[in-house]
Structure 1
């Protein structure tokens, strides 16, 4: 087993191939989008890569440890090639991740497969988070016209121009969510470089505020400025025929007025107009208000990701 701070492009490609091979057996990738993005682009602060190789230097096991959160325990994911399962490699990877984390670990089991649940229990971890993937058909979509709060308008994202404002709004909207709320410019750039990125499906809600009289160059007031108060970023998975409610966020001061529901409907209408047959999204099971909103929009649970952690 090797523990590395960064991967060469060739090794990163081998790991991605491993993840894709395992996903064909498991039904979903064992490493998240964020984890896959962190394979490339050289060194990333707080990220370590664990490689298990077989004869011929073939990569047959991979683990990733991310310890960037200042409060929460480091988060980890791992995958073993289907042909090499049943020989204790998963346990060896898990033990190495546990050791390198200082025995403070959060471990994902994407899809909640029995073998992953068993491994977590073997490592002495306990379940503490359930992330649901929900889906609904978009064919014959029949949603009422979205109603925006007074003074709010919606436009699409302008790469480069809107980056800083969106990152600030995202940090405020997800201050309680360490993974989403801590996104950086590099994280945003990684996603903008992906083939699926389309600014036409990235919607920004602005609240127009009249500038003060003293701010007006003529001293008469009347000029209006926009404050980013919410957003809905959609994503298309072309091969799977899925459109994703990738992230919906509303700044704290704009919550409670129906903006999140309106933005969700705007994004779903966009995906339906693009000809995508099914919509999906991820939501924490304990976020009852959000789950309720999505259920009222016709979403049902499709599968569940589980996160385990060491006892505090």
Structure 2
């Protein structure tokens, strides 16, 4: 068996190493047809993250970057989380094993969750061999936009209107509703103002594709009821062609039952179609059978799977 690769972990990588990791991620995406890290992990790689996080590098014998992992320790309680990727030329050489071993050491006596994007055979083999169990399964679903109404006229109560997001003004209201809409979601419901700011600074951010449903005038005491934030992935990000995404669709629990989800969905899909895109994707928990069935009835089909593997020491 190949000796484990040298592994180093730091609280924050320098610019040169960040560039090398981003190049590795592009190579892995091209080889596997799926992005190897989540958006959160990529943002923390580039901008840093909360205390307790570590960037983990594995190097080949010649010093070349052979693998990368992102460890999140949180506040030191509950599950630790990790993601990792091995450069395509260096696979089957013990590098994934070395990265995972270091993640387990960082987690200590806490359970560790490791995301495997694309549910690739190599990741499944490594996780099973190390005693991990499937804890969560996230589906990526897609549909074409050809049948989308380009000019939807959603039926809304007279005092409700849909308007684009206004940077510098709507952040507090959106964060409040996002937390309420995703109160039970392990990632989305905990977004902070910094999490939002980082995404607003990304090249893909477009407030014209970020739709808010208000009751009343937002500048005169109006109440935010829900939102649909769309995203456009450039070619090479999620496939050879650009593709849209239902990025965040959330309704305040007090505003359920008045058709806002369908109205906001229709408006967002029309926006993506008008941008010249031919398809759209979304992510949904596989065990949310009601949501999966709803999306399937509206033309979405299953495209890819992400798995969160969990191990208790």
Q: Distance in 2 between matches of 1:187 and 1:308?
A: 25
Deviation for aligned residue 1:257 = 2.8
Among residues 118, 121, 132, which one is paired with 1:125 in the alignment?
A: 132
Give 1:273-292 correspondences, 5 Å limit.
Answer: 273-292=274-293
Q: Aligned with 1:175: secondary structure?
A: coil
CA gap of 1:149–1:304, structure 2 versus 1, over 3 A, is: farther
Give 1:152-167 correspondences, 5 Å limit.
Answer: 152-167=160-175
Q: What is the CA RMSD across the aligned residues, in angstroms? A: 2.1
Partner of 1:216: none
Is 1:232 equivalent to 2:250 in the alignment? no
Partner of 2:54: 48
Partner of 1:6: 12
Q: Distance in 2 between matches of 1:127 and 1:150?
A: 47
Contact 2:82 2:113 in 1 (8 A): yes
In the alignment, structure 1 segments of 5+ residues that lack a partner are 211-222
Q: Distance in 2 between matches of 1:273 and 1:130?
A: 32
Q: Aligned with 2:143: secondary structure?
A: strand
Q: Distance in 2 between matches of 1:42 and 1:108?
A: 19
Give 1:54-69 correspondences, 5 Å limit.
Answer: 54-68=60-74
Is 1:169 equivalent to 2:177 in the alignment? yes
Partner of 2:144: 137
Deviation for aligned residue 1:147 = 2.4
Is 1:77 equivalent to 2:83 in the alignment? yes
Partner of 1:108: 115
Q: Distance in 2 between matches of 1:304 and 1:285?
A: 9
Once the two structures are superposed, residues 280-299 of structure 1 have per-residue CA deviations (whole angstroms, 9 ceiling, x without a partner) of: 10011111222222122211
In the alignment, structure 2 segments of 5+ residues that lack a partner are 1-6, 236-240
| 40-49 vs 162-171, which moves further | 40-49
Partner of 2:270: 269
CA gap of 1:20–1:179, structure 2 versus 1, over 3 A, is: same
Contact 1:235 1:246 in 2 (8 A): yes
Contact 2:50 2:74 in 1 (8 A): no
Q: Aligned with 1:124: secondary structure?
A: coil
Contact 1:95 1:123 in 2 (8 A): no
Q: Distance in 2 between matches of 1:249 and 1:172?
A: 9
Q: Distance in 1 between matches of 2:52 and 2:179?
A: 20
Partner of 2:103: 97
Q: Aligned with 1:68: secondary structure?
A: coil
Contact 2:149 2:266 in 1 (8 A): no
Deviation for aligned residue 1:46 = 2.6
Contact 2:112 2:312 in 1 (8 A): no
Q: Distance in 1 between matches of 2:217 and 2:244?
A: 33
Report the TM-score when normalising by structure 1: 0.90
Q: Distance in 1 between matches of 2:263 and 2:301?
A: 19
Contact 2:119 2:306 in 1 (8 A): yes
Q: How many residues are aligned here?
A: 300
CA gap of 1:55–1:92, structure 2 versus 1, over 3 A, is: closer
Partner of 1:25: 31
Partner of 2:245: 244
Contact 2:137 2:306 in 1 (8 A): yes
Contact 1:126 1:311 in 2 (8 A): no
Deviation for aligned residue 1:74 = 1.5
Deviation for aligned residue 1:154 = 0.8
Q: Distance in 1 between matches of 2:158 and 2:73?
A: 42
CA gap of 1:172–1:307, structure 2 versus 1, over 3 A, is: same
Q: Aligned with 1:178: secondary structure?
A: coil
